[in-house]
Amino acid sequence: MASIWKTRSVIGLFVLALLLAGCGKKDQEPAPGSGSAAPAQSQTATPSASSTQAPDMAQVEAQTKQALAQMNQGTTVEPLSAAAIKAFLPAELSGFTRIDASAERTQMGGADLSVADGQYGASEGDGSIDVTITDVGNLSGAMKMGMTGWAMAQYSRETDTGYEKVTTYNGYKAMEEYDNEAKDGLLRIIVADRFVVEVRGNAVTMDAIKQAMGKIDLAKLAAAK
């Protein structure tokens, strides 16, 4: 099913892509009225692409970090460590056993975030549930700005086999999707304008997905910022 949401850290990466697209352009434009005697086609002391690539990327990263800090009211937001965010994954779910859990902190292009993933298999049957918790870190300011309109939105879509809608879960704005035919669904919420928590189920009921979300200590997660 199509969704008006993006998964995991795509929200933040989309914002980052916009920032990267704008960074460095001013340096490429000639200064107005410079009056330089050197012609534009001069080849004197022209650095090779390989020699300028690393400094340019470092400059882009620095500019991106600065822009993201400004969106966070001048504060540099450090995401939780891999171990800290992994600790929020439930050890087990009702009727499901955790079969794998992992977490990582990623720094790329000026963005700094961490993600934890937990996979749970049904004690009986073929059902499975995946839990993903993303700390968008220094992208939180940008995400908060992008979430302003969505937080006020009312959205609902029905199909022959399922639905998707903007709703609330325990006071948190949420996106809920479910396909009755495939018995696949997800529940995704935003916590403290910084953490994206998603529970996705395969061959399970929506009640099972919501029960899994209930195993995550959202209040403690919100306080971890």
Domain boundaries, the chain: 76-223
| pLDDT for position 10 | 44
Task: Read off the pLDDT of residues 170-220 as tens digits, 9 standing for 90 and up.
Answer: 999 899 999 999 999 999 998 988 899 999 999 999 999 999 999 999 999
**CA quadruple 61, 67, 68, 74: dihedral sign:** positive
pLDDT of residue 149: 60
Give the H/E segment covering residue 70. helix 49-71
Q: Are 112 and 137 in contact (CB under 8 A)?
A: yes
Quick one: pLDDT at residue 6?
38
Rounded distance between C-alpha atoms, residue 115 and residue 86, angstroms:
8
The letter for the amino acid at 149 is G
- pLDDT tens per residue across span 6-22: 334 444 444 444 443 34
Q: How far is CA 225 from the centre of its chain?
A: 15
What are residue 101's DSSP bridge partners? 118
Structure tokens at 184: 């696949």
How many helical (H) and strand (E) elements, i.e. helices and strands, does the chain have?
7, 9
DSSP assigned state of 125: S
Q: Could you give the strand order of the β-sheet that contains 195-202, starting from the edge strand earlier in sequence?
A: 92-93, 96-108, 111-122, 128-135, 195-202, 184-191, 172-179, 162-169, 156-158
Q: The whole model's pTM is what?
A: 0.70
pLDDT value at position 34? 45
For residue range 83-100, list pLDDT tens digits in order.
Answer: 999 999 999 999 999 999
- How far is it, in rounded angstroms, from Cα 221 to Cα 219? 5
Which of 85, 113, 88 lies closest to 12 in space, CA to CA? 113
Quick check: 136 and 12 in contact, CB under 8 A? yes
Q: What is the pLDDT of residues 104-149, one digit of tens each?
A: 998 776 677 899 999 999 998 899 999 999 998 767 666 666 555 6
- Beta partners for residue 76, in sequence order: none
d(CA 125, CA 92): 16
